[in-house]
Chains A and B, each alone.
Chain A
Amino acid sequence: MKKLLLPIALVVMTLSACAQTSSLDRFYNKFKSSSEGDANIAISPNFMLQACFSGKDNIKGEAGSWLKKVTEVRLLILDQKKAPTAREWSDLFGSLVDDHFEELFSIRKGKDRVQLMSADRKGDLKELVFLAAGEDGGGLFLHFKGHFTAADLEKMQSALQENQSKKAQ
């Protein structure tokens, strides 16, 4: 019986670790429910897939091919009414490193802060998170998940350039 205790304990610990949500999920879940006047957008993998199929006539090959690799988008626009405290922002910035996010760039002026981070997950799954926190606590939370490769980044860039040149015309 004693021999079984250790494996059982290990399985329980592993399952409880799997059930833990990431700091991003906790932050998002907390502020999506508390944001009454704030904007809150979540796009599921299913919607992204359907959008890719239904929009394939409008979105030409290049752009469509990377768009269908986006599996999840979450956006929160937080104003100062129910904004996170400076501590909550700071905890989120700190905990992202524990969740294996790497900084791409960051800019801080006084208490205003902008940060772009990315994480490589299993396979080619990548997560990108863009956080902008203002002095008043308000800010922007944008979280992307997708199966991007370096070539996809290039396609995104050219799709954006194409879009810009069309606007200029």
Chain B
Amino acid sequence: MRSTIHKYCIVALLMMGATGLQAQEDAIGKFFGKYIEDSRFTVVSVSPKMFRLLAKVNWDTIPADLRQTVTKLKSLRILSTGSTPRQFYKEALARIDMKEYEELITVRSKNEDVHFVVKEEGGVIHELLMIALDESDFTLMSFVGDIDLDKMSRLSSSMSIKGMENLKNVKRKK
């Protein structure tokens, strides 16, 4: 009887652990999920399947190192709105558990507030998250995959995403 209770306890603990992990992963997912159908927002989503397909395509016009960077990405999600941007910026900061992330770049000026944070494990960056606010817009952007910051900073200059230009300031790996 005691061993049966013991087994149930282990199963319950494992389930609680799994649920906890799920909840951590879903912090951003929930934010995206909440506003994905909201017409005040512009939403861009590129799925893991699309990145897998891109990995199989032979691109001659793009330098090999940048191609490799893109093929290691798993998903991209962007949420942006010009409607009450400060309110959504505050909500994002409150909802996303910043303890899970390491601060990379913070730009704070009169007109702009930009945070680049990363989720790192075993020396590999698995997520790059940008939370940006300027006078007119709030933008939340999440890249998931094996991320090479050096190459991402090169890619950032060709992306027309507000706040993304700040990534070029990231220190290059030696």
Task: Please give the residue numbers on chain A whose beta carbons come within 8 Å of chain B beta carbons, in ascending order.
Answer: 102-111, 116, 118, 150, 153-154, 157-158, 161
A-B contact pairs, 12 of them (CB 8 A): A102-B49, A103-B45, A104-B47, A104-B49, A108-B41, A109-B43, A111-B39, A116-B50, A153-B53, A153-B56, A157-B59, A158-B60
Instruction: Give the residues in chain A near B39, CB-CB below 8 Å.
Output: 110-111
> Which residues of B line the A interface, CB within 8 A?
36, 39-47, 49-50, 53, 56-61
Chain B residues within 8 Å of A118, by CB = 49
Q: Once bound together, how far apart are the Cα atoms of A69 and B71, in whole Å?
A: 26
**How far does the alpha carbon of A111 sit from the alpha carbon of B38 in the complex, in Å?**
9
Closest 10 CB pairs of A and B: A150-B56, A104-B50, A109-B42, A108-B43, A105-B46, A103-B47, A154-B58, A106-B45, A157-B57, A107-B44
C-alpha gap A34/B36 in the complex (Å): 31
Q: Are A106 and B43 in contact (CB under 8 A)?
A: yes
Give the CA-CA distance A150 to B53 in the complex, in Å: 7
With A and B bound together, what is the CA distance between A17 and B43 in angstroms?
35
What CA separation (Å) do A147 and B42 show in the bound complex?
A: 34
Complex Cα distance, B42 from A102, in Å, reads 21
Q: How far is the CA of A157 from the CA of B49 in the complex (A)?
A: 17
CB distance A161 to B57 under 8 Å?
no
A interface secondary structure, majority? strand
Q: Within 8 Å CB of A153, what residues of B? A: 53, 56-57
Find chain B residues with CB under 8 A from A108 CB.
36, 41-43
Min C-beta distance of A133 to chain B, whole Å: 12
Contacts of A161 in B (CB 8 A): 60-61
Name the distance in Å between A168's Cβ and chain B's nearest Cβ.
12
Nearest neighbor of A115 in chain B, beta-carbon distance: B45
Q: In the bound complex, what is the Cα–Cα distance between A108 and B46 (angstroms)?
A: 12
Docked pose: A157 CA to B56 CA in angstroms: 11
Q: How far is the CA of A157 from the CA of B58 in the complex (A)?
A: 8
Chain B minimum-CB-distance residue to A158? B58
Contacts of B57 in A (CB 8 A): 153-154, 157
- What residues on B are CB-neighbors of A110 within 8 Å? 39-40, 42
Bound form: Cα–Cα A105–B46 in Å: 4
| CB of B118, distance to nearest CB on chain A (Å) | 24
In the bound complex, residues from chain A placing their C-beta under 8 Å from that of B47 are 102-105
Do the beta carbons of A104 and B53 come within 8 Å of each other? yes
Smallest CB gap from B57: residue in A: A157
A109→B40 CA distance, assembly (Å): 8
Q: Distance (Å) between the CB of A146 and the closest chain B CB?
A: 14
Determine the chain A residues whose CB is within 8 A of the CB of B46 once the complex forms.
Answer: 104-105
Query: What residues on A are CB-neighbors of B41 within 8 Å?
Result: 108
B60 surroundings in chain A (CB, below 8 A): 158, 161
| Residues of chain A with a CB closer than 8 A to B61's CB | 161
